[in-house]
Structure 1
Amino acid sequence: MNLQAYKTTVGAFVLGGLALLALGIIVLGGGRLFNSDIEYVLYFDGSVSGLSIGAPVVFRGVPLGSVTRISLVANARDSNVTIPVLIRIDEKSIVRANGGNPSEALQQEIIRRMVQRGLRAQLQLQSLITGQYRVVLDFHPGTPANFRSSTPDREIPTIPSPIDTIQRTLARLPLEQMVHSLGTILESVSKALGDGKLERGLAAFDETFEAARDILLNAAEMRDTADSVLQRIDSAAAAVQTELPGTLASFRTAMQNMGLAAEQLRLATASAQNVLRRDSPTMNDVRRLLKESIATARSLRELATMLERNPEALLRGKKGTR
């Protein structure tokens, strides 16, 4: 082999090695060496059991990226332990309205505004068989945004998952006391069944229910009777209201005629006084009759006035009388 062929072989070998090295870097980097994917950190309060590297990150069912790293950070000052979860959002998953993919700075601005509107991360069970979890992003307005990292622009706040909420609720329940109370109740029920008290109580309840049903049936009959009486009263009131104007007019005419008769009687008495003596028995009788006639006319006139003002007095009677 001459020198020129040897140099060619070595050059080809070096170029092939460099190509394989570049291909390995691209493969090991997950094909993301030359893209502008953005990483965000999430801090979950509960357990992240079932969440693994490579788990999908979705927004309302749309894949956005995946989990890249799960770490355990211990704080030596207060012995507090946090579990930061790093996720990567694919640059191609966000498309602008006018087409095309936004730049990295614009993607960060979009995520920041979404966080301000209530974007939160939550763990969700992906499969009941495998028990694997995924990260779900969605809007939850009204939930607090608790940032724990030194770079809030690269952090998405989290909220507890439904399973964590159920576990915390169950943890706060006084299960031991509830079991003890349930045992006491079951013991009391067993004792009541043995003594026959429960059976007697059920029988008494059945009797009470039947009595209540009878009362309700009687109440229905009483209501029907009351409705019938009210209808009759309404009919009588309507009849009185119809006949009352004519009756009052006739009564007023009679009062006027009686007033004329009293006036004529007074004139006749005045004429008789010129004929009869002042102290005769006939004169005294006539004087007494005149006074009584005038009093009667005045009473009838007052009665007519009262009936004009209060026509319902014919039905209810004069107020204050018994």
Structure 2
Amino acid sequence: MSKQANPAIIGLFVLGGFILSIVTIVLLSKGGFFKERHDFVMYFSGSVNGLSVGAPVTMRGVQVGIVKHISLVQDFTRGEIIIPVVAEFYPGNVIPVGKKKTEPVKETAKKLVEEFGLRAQLQTQSIITGQFYVQLDFHPRTAYRYYGGNDDDGDDGDYDYDDKIIEIPIIPSTLELLEKKLEKFELSSLVEDLSSAAKAISHLANKPELGQSIRELETTLATIHSLAHSADARLIPLSNKVERLLDGLQGTLSRIDTAATNFKELSDTESPTIYKVNTAMDELIRAAKSIRTLADMLENHPEVLIHGKGTGK
């Protein structure tokens, strides 16, 4: 007779499986498996050496995606090589403002490219390892080319990777721009110019006139130094005399100011000094009149000096 299954054990297994499913769903959601993502492609015509799958895609230092696939397209009709780089974009890392929720992502990307100048560019991630990453940024008024199916005329472009994948045009990296500028320089001409300059300098340095000129310059500098020392020795006493003269002039100006103040007081008719002078003048006038009266009386009556002034009879 077979043994009957224990319902409690079966229930524990079912409960454990249910809990395990919930934990798995939570972990997957934290890992980003349920996040909204979009793929976009960039077509590079230059070397992408140093760029690898898994390299970050950043915008102003914030990671907004990751490189997902790198391939190579060789066009035998045009004789060119194009490298499509597919990256995965994380919209959850970007907070949109002013965007319509119903607007398709591809239309939004096209608007950012054509109106605001969204471009992709390779940048150096590490100088030591030579690794690169993809940087997204706005570069208005820069030329761009669609290789895929984003043209306004409905043309699928030269290399249509996938109609559903958004295309972001690229601009040359800083290293590529530097290489193009260096290509414009004529290195041989530059070396010839440097060689000619070195020969001219050597020829000038070997001339005896150069040594004579240097010696004359040293003599002239020594003379200038001596004159400066002599002038300094003479200017110090002169400056002392000028300082004393200025002190004396200051005292003279002070005395002139005091005299001007006194003169102003004398010229004021209501000043106390003028009042005292007027009073003294009045007293002198009265005294003069008394003396004149006395003189007239003595002239008419000289006996007064002997008998004195008496009463009239």
Structure 2 stretches lacking a partner, 5+ long: 6-26, 152-164, 219-313
Counterpart residue number, 1:120 = 119
In the alignment, the residues of structure 2 paired with residue 105 and residue 60 of structure 1 have an alpha-carbon distance, to the nearest angstrom, of 24
Any residues of structure 2 matched to 1:62-101 within 5 Å, and which?
Answer: 62-97=62-97
Q: Which digits, 9 at most, give the CA deviation of each residue in 1:27-81, with x for residues without a partner? A: 9xxx666543111111223221111111111111121101111111111212211
Q: Provide the rounded CA distance (Å) in 1 between the counterparts of 2:110 and 2:166.
A: 8
Match of 2:188 in 1: 176
Query: What SS is found at the alignment partner of 2:206?
Result: helix
Q: How does 1:48-67 map to 2 (within 5 A)?
A: 48-67=48-67
- Structure in which a larger fraction of residues adopt helix: 1
Distance 1:188 1:204, change over 3 A: farther
Q: 1:58 to 1:4 in 2, by over 3 A?
A: farther
Report Cα offsets for 1:150-194 as digits up to 9, x if no partner.
345711111111111111111221112211221121012112211
Supply the AA of the counterpart residue of 1:68.
K
The 3-state SS of whatever aligns with 2:142 is coil
Q: Which residue of 2 aligns with 1:130?
A: 129
Q: Residue 110 of structure 1: CA displacement? A: 2.6
Equivalent positions of 1:265-276 (< 5 A) are none
CA separation in 2, counterparts of 1:170 and 1:132? 23
How do residues 187-202 of structure 1 correspond to structure 2 at under 5 angstroms?
187-196=199-208
TM-score scaled to structure 1, two decimals?
0.50
Secondary structure at the counterpart of residue 83 of structure 1: strand
2:145 maps to 146
Aligned counterpart, 2:16: none
Check if 1:107 corresponds to 2:89. no
Instruction: Measure the CA separation in 1 of the matches of 2:187 and 2:3.
Output: 87
Report how many aligned residue pairs link the two structures: 199
Provide closer, same or farther for how the CA distance between residues 3 and 128 of structure 1 changes in structure 2, counting only shifts above 3 A.
farther
CA distance in 1, matches of 2:198, 2:110: 57
TM-score by length of 2: 0.51
Give the gaps of 5 or more residues in structure 1: 6-26, 207-322
| Equivalent-residue separation in structure 2 for 1:129 and 1:52 (angstroms) | 16
Query: What is the correspondence of 1:218-297 to structure 2 with a 5 Å cutoff?
Result: none
User: What code does the residue aligned with 2:106 have?
Assistant: Q
Q: 1:201 to 1:150 in 2, by over 3 A?
A: farther
After superposition, the CA RMSD in angstroms is: 4.4
Report % sequence identity. 36
